Amino acid sequence: MPSNATLTGDTFHLPDVGEGLTEAEIVEWKVQPGDTIALNQVIVEIETAKSLVELPSPFAGTVDELLVAAGDTVAVGAPIIRVSGGEIPRTPADEVLELEAEAYDGAGYDSYEKAVHAAPEGSGAVLVGYGVSGAHMTTRRRRVSKADADARAERVADARAERVANERAARPASVPAAFAHPVIVKPPIRKLAKDLGVDLSKVSPTGLAGETTRDDVIRAATQASVFHNIETPEWGDERIERIPVKGVRKAIATAMVTSAYSAPHVSLFVDVDATRTMEFVARLKASPQFAGVKVSPLLIMAKAVIWAVRRSPTVNSEWTDREILVRHFVNLGIAAATPRGLIVPNVKEAQAMSLIELAQALEQLTLTARDGKTQPSDTADGTITITNIGVFGMDTGTPILNPGEVAIVALGTIKQKPWVVDGEVRPRMVTTIGASFDHRVVDGDVASRFVADVASVLEEPALLLD
């Protein structure tokens, strides 16, 4: 077979894109019958109980038939699309799609290595549980050196540049000046723009090859956000809107009911002078070591919870009918409100991370959740959770436990309030910590000590250096 062509396949079955996935909903087809598709081209967007996933095609060829419709819930292993055809010449755009599937979002060599080694040796897989038979092949390598990764990154840039040049050459001369650049954007960034209500045609791209980046979209959304809260949408024509209970919403409902009615909750609250935390955050932001890393009070809260867990280990437990499992590691869950609903991905082995490593992990977790790319494995095996309701301007709340855990901590908004210091009323940055516990495992004294420990770190972050 010529090196510039790929083999075609026939029927594509819904793969297991996560641990124990049994079904998924077809959200949107990206192709239609008669379309010509390339290897690794995104063909469909599916929704599992925890994440929104774009499936790339393991075949190249022509779409014969879509075997299921958008909105259908399909079992894993069921056929969803039929593809046929001969060899299809590879184009620069194909090269971009394939290489960017391996080096996702231009994240660099480390992410490229992770993507390559995520597939089983010799399987040709491009997603977890997503393999192709011996009759088909991809051009993925099992192991790459840094030089190979850099070379491939250069090929991506060259292919992008060629694609941009071709699109510009084909653009009519009458295109208005306001739309003088083609909209080049990866699917996750396009999804982010849709969620944030950003019109991509009005965003000025800053990517090296003229592509719109995540920062471009977030910047545009931030500039427009001041108007979002003063717009009140009209009700639709229907008096009652019916929303099917499925996917993430069904998973949330099941988990919350199970937690609320199986674990006896007890909640505690404490006000905290977080002035020194805000000063510490400001110093970290100015530190060259943290350049390019998102730093927020959530980072200090996360470190405080990890520290407090060591002092009150039963808050990091799991209840079973026969025994209490006290875990001597922390998979720190962060409750994330996404456009698709609440999910709780967790940072694995957070207790072993330095402050900057934890900051990077939290940032990646947040971006992945915002892009709808959180995988089921990312939400599994959590040990304790933080919910940052302060980002919504809330002072406190009574959080419900994440199933399988016995403690959850809520961080309220941090704002200036009058506070008594040495007998004098002064303006200080104050927050409220709320926490819920499973009273079968955590007694009142343990819960109180744990919350007090978290509060002490927010009041004096220097304790983190001990």
Does residue 439 have an active-site annotation? yes
* Inter-residue contact 185 to 193 (CB < 8 Å): yes
* Inter-residue contact 389 to 414 (CB < 8 Å): no
| Tokens 């949330």 belong to residue | 252
For CA atoms 301, 303, 307, 309, the dihedral sign is: positive
Q: How far apart are CA 177 and CA 240, in angstroms?
A: 44
Burial of 46 (0-12, 13-18, 19+ CB in 10 A): buried
In order, the DSSP letters of 120-145 are: PTTT--SBTTB---TT------S---
Q: How far apart are CA 60 and CA 58, in angstroms?
A: 7
Cα distances from 118 to residues 14, 142, 157, 348, 420, in angstroms, run: 19, 9, 24, 17, 54
Helices (H), 29-179: 92-102, 109-117, 146-170
**From edge to edge, which strands make up the β-sheet containing 36-37?**
11-13, 79-84, 61-66, 36-37
Which structure tokens are listed for 160? Answer: 């992008």
Cβ contacts of 71 within 8 Å, gap of 6 or more:
25, 26
In order, the DSSP letters of 344-390 are: --EETTGGG--HHHHHHHHHHHHHHHHTT---HHHHTT--EEEE-GG
Among residues 13, 136, 265, 439, the one annotated as catalytic is 439
Q: How far apart are CA 231 and CA 213, in angstroms?
A: 27
* Inter-residue contact 340 to 47 (CB < 8 Å): yes
3-state secondary structure of 47: strand
β-pair type (332-338, 384-387): parallel
Cα distances from 193 to residues 90, 167, 399, in angstroms, run: 29, 22, 30
Supply the Cα-derived Rg of the chain in whole angstroms: 25
How many degrees, rounded to 5, is the angle at CA 307 between CA 277 and CA 319? Answer: 130
CA 11 and chain centroid, separation: 30
Catalytic residues: 439
